[in-house]
Amino acid sequence: MTLIKSISGIRGTIGGKISDNLTPVDAVKFAAAYGTFIKQRNSDKKDIKVVIGRDARISGKMISSLVANTLVGLGINVIDLGLSTTPTVEVAVPLEKAEGGIILTASHNPKQWNALKLLNEKGEFLNGEEGQVILELAESEAITFTEVDDLGTYSKDKTYVEKHIQEVLNLDLVDVDAIKKANFKVVVDAVNSTGGIFIPALLKELNVECVELYCTPNGQFPHNPEPLKEHLTDISELVVKEKADFGIVVDPDVDRLALVSEDGSMFGEEYTLVACADYVLGKLGGGNTVSNLSSSRALRDVTEKHGGTYTASAVGEVNVVIKMKETNTVIGGEGNGGIIYPASHYGRDSLVGVALFLSHLANKKISCKELRDSYPSYFMSKNKIQLTPQIDVDKILATMAANYANEDVNTIDGVKIDFADEWIHLRKSNTEPIIRIYTEAKSQEAADNLAVRFIEEIKAIIA
């Protein structure tokens, strides 16, 4: 059992001992720290609002209730969206003119996990400095609850399915008419979480026939909820059986989007962003893009094809957003299927991704597989090397950077080395003594071989 505290929130498994797991006590302590932080930065305001929402996992109702009542005890007014999505809460915070938001979800983690994801008044994730303040507050005695006459209020708002969908449909580049005329048929795997509410509702508004697979929001995940190829055999088979145009897969909190082509093959999580960026850049006549260092080179290729500039950020959604704002990016995100479209909001949003992808396919008038085949083809390998706690990982990474100083080396997050036809990214884990190794090349064999080569070089350094 595990409890992980980080600048982005608190995440852990349900049950067990306090401070070792995500117990009710830990949920209250961390919610109280966040609420205190929000009150401190809004000390001039009388009425402070925080929006909360949760995915459908089994522990969600319990954790949500604990968080909501803790905030009320701090004198904060809580707006509870109930069963919701990460992007929906992000959209709701500024619409409600709230001072913050909390999403109760462990994203792609299995059902025994839950987490508190923390937002600022813009509906964006807190930065590292803000997250550190909350971590320190959670361990301090500096939290004071209000007296009875100053308790906050609690209210429910179930209108955000419609509100979020309308926000998506109102986006200039979402071609509602073209999508409706295309008469698409798709299969949706929402892993029995809240995507089973939101994605079919969006598709209905777009006149898309929706075949639902695992769309009952009961938190009983029928397969590993991370939308990777090895977990998606059921939807691959059903897309072919139903003669659907493609399949849509979302994770439990609906901020990652994977697609399945009409022949049952994976479109590829990395290529969700590539396709949406291709559409947006084509419509705008160019523009800048951002993804993290571990994302596919295909986004760079597509961006440059449209005359734009691609920039890589450190890994992590907060880092991607910061770099997007710095470079005036029109679309960005992460290679895990996370689409960030600033015309909507600065957060990964599968509803936006679905709408942009449908628009692209409707305008292109080609099949999903044909669209995938039109992009540069790259293959990834993801590995790790286990080290002993005594080994200085930073020194190893510095040595690797020095050894390849004549290549294109980026050290903003670990060490990424770009070769002509392939790249490798070495990252230090913050929680265990390992180096994560990501490679990409023009064949799976080449990507695997590059990883093996660097694993051997690292072993030689520590021998």
Instruction: Tell me the DSSP string of 365-377.
Output: TS-HHHHHHTSPP
User: Does residue 141 register a pLDDT over 80?
Assistant: no
On whether the CB atoms of residues 459 and 383 are closer than 8 A, the answer is: no
pTM above 0.75, yes or no: yes
Q: What is the pLDDT of residue 431?
A: 67
Specify the domain boundaries for CATH 3.40.120.10 within the chain.
3-158, 164-373
Catalytic residue numbers read 107
Query: How would you class 134 by CB atoms within 10 Å of its CB: exposed for 0-12, middle for 13-18, buried for 19 or more?
Result: buried
Give per-residue pLDDT as tens, 3-19.
888 767 889 999 999 98
Is the per-residue pLDDT at 50 higher than 90? yes
pLDDT confidence of residue 2: 74
- 219-267 per-position pLDDT tens digit: 999 999 988 889 999 999 999 999 999 999 999 999 999 999 999 999 9
Fold of 164-373: Alpha-D-Glucose-1,6-Bisphosphate; Chain A, domain 3 (3.40.120)
Q: Are 130 and 6 spatial neighbours (Cβ–Cβ below 8 Å)?
A: no
* 417 Cα distance to chain centroid: 25
CATH of domain 379-462: 3.30.310.50
Mean pLDDT of the chain: 95
Q: How many CB atoms lie within 10 A of CB 94?
A: 17
Q: Strand pairing partners for 113?
A: 13
The rounded distance, in Å, linking the Cα atoms of 395 and 410 is 16
Alpha carbons within 13 A on the beta-carbon side of 52? 29
- Which spans in 209-297 are helix H? 233-241, 269-284
Mean pLDDT of all residues in 143-155: 96
Class of the 3-158 domain? alpha beta
Binned at pLDDT 50, 70 and 90, residue 329 comes out as very high
Segment 422-450 mean pLDDT: 92
What is the share, in percent, of the chain residues with pLDDT greater than 70? Answer: 99
Backbone region of residue 300 per phi and psi (left: phi > 0; alpha: psi in -120 to 50; beta: other values): alpha
Q: What local confidence, expressed as pLDDT, does residue 229 receive?
A: 85
pLDDT > 60? residue 426? yes
Question: Which residues of the chain are in CATH 3.30.310.50 domains?
Answer: 379-462
Q: Which residue has the higher pLDDT, 90 or 8?
A: 90
Helices first, then strands: H and E counts in the chain = 15, 20
pLDDT reading at 432 higher than 80:
no
Is residue 151 pLDDT above 60, yes or no? yes
pLDDT attached to residue 1: 53
Determine the Cα–Cα distance for residues 210 and 271; give it in Å rounded to an integer: 22
Distance CA 191, CA 220 (A): 8
pLDDT at 389: 81
Give me the mean pLDDT over the 59-76 stretch.
98
- pLDDT at res. 9: 80
**Measuring CA to CA, which residue among 363, 383, 368 is closest to residue 440?**
383
Q: What is the pLDDT of residue 387?
A: 86
